[in-house]
Amino acid sequence: MAPPKASLTARERARAELTREIKKEARRQLAGTGADGLSLRAVARELGMVSSALYRYFPSKDDLLTALIIDAYDAVGERVEAAIAAVPEEPPPDGPGRTVTAGREDATLGAVRERWLAGCRAVRTWARAHPHEYALIYGSPVPGYQAPESTIGPAVRVPFALIRVLRDGAARGLPPADGGTAGNGSATGNADLGELADQAVAIAALVTETDPGNPLPPDVAVRAVIAWTQLFGMVSFELFGQFANSFDPADALFDYAAGQMMSFVLGKQSGTGK
């Protein structure tokens, strides 16, 4: 798997660079045209090439699209992973201001919380900086385009990163959801998860196949999926204009929502108390 040569030939370097240039220009044009309005001819024109030359780099327009999609997924994925990694898994052991008894548990919970929120914010920050790439991967499907399997790996980086935050918390003794006490009007308990529990466990297993043990409780996993859909629902509404005239700077709403959903995932009361 090591590169066959220490240094690339001039031809290989030129090819790599032009490939990057083509994708960059295509990305730039995405803004004005949308995914299926993207034009190979226009990209070539802007790069000072003849349109047929692009076919040396991408065998068809769909292949260029696929490359852009993979790059976009990898870009958000990388940002989210980095944002999470930047928050320590646990605060320094002898930090001040914690009671002795419940301190350890609170600290783990707080760390999980901060890492989760950092991941959510990274999604929104990237999306606002690259709205057209966001639309490419999370917006309506491009008509006539079928994403190949090679997009799946990059696509799951964000959800996997978020689930890993919860898994890491579980590995450090984060107690399972304590939501069993306060009942509510309808039957939505763990016992009613049914097939949902299986689906959630299967996903959690995928995420952690290199790190078995400490499985995420099914109800937490399912609520994490719900929070994941909320995160992207809110970002999509903000970017796609559903908030026009209401939550126009959506910053406050986003932060509040992310915090509330984190509490929801952990089974904590979504309350009004401090």
Partner DNA sequence: TGTACATCAGTGAACGCGCGTTCACTGATGTAC
Residues that bind DNA (CB under 7 A): 9-12, 14-15, 18, 38-42, 45, 49-53, 55-57, 60-62
Q: Give dist(CA 188, CA 165) in Å, integer.
A: 25
Contact flag: residue 171 with a copy of itself (CB under 8 A)? no
Q: CB of residue 225 vs a copy of itself: minimum separation in angstroms?
A: 7
For DNA, which is the closer residue by CB, 51 or 190? 51
Q: State which of residues 52, 60, 150, 270 lies at the interface with a copy of itself (CB under 8 A).
A: 270
Q: Give dist(CA 126, CA 185) in Å, integer.
A: 39
Residue 240: how many other CB atoms lie within 10 Å: 15
Q: CB of residue 158 vs a copy of itself: minimum separation in angstroms?
A: 10
Q: Give dist(CA 193, CA 191) in Å, integer.
A: 6
For DNA, which is the closer residue by CB, 35 or 200? 35
Q: Residues 35, 136: contact at Cβ < 8 Å?
A: yes
Q: CB of residue 173 vs a copy of itself: minimum separation in angstroms?
A: 15
**Within 222-241, which residues bind a copy of itself (CB under 8 A)?**
222-223, 225-226, 229-234, 236-237, 240-241
Q: Residues 54, 43: contact at Cβ < 8 Å?
A: yes
Contact flag: residue 87 with a copy of itself (CB under 8 A)? no
For a copy of itself, which is the closer residue by CB, 55 or 256? 256
Residue 63: how many other CB atoms lie within 10 Å: 13
Q: What is the DSSP letter of 116?
A: H
Token pair for 108:
């783990």
Contact flag: residue 129 with a copy of itself (CB under 8 A)? no
Contact flag: residue 51 with a copy of itself (CB under 8 A)? no
Q: Residues 18, 125: contact at Cβ < 8 Å?
A: no
For DNA, which is the closer residue by CB, 67 or 235? 67
For DNA, which is the closer residue by CB, 3 or 96? 3
Q: Give dist(CA 119, CA 117) in Å, integer.
A: 5
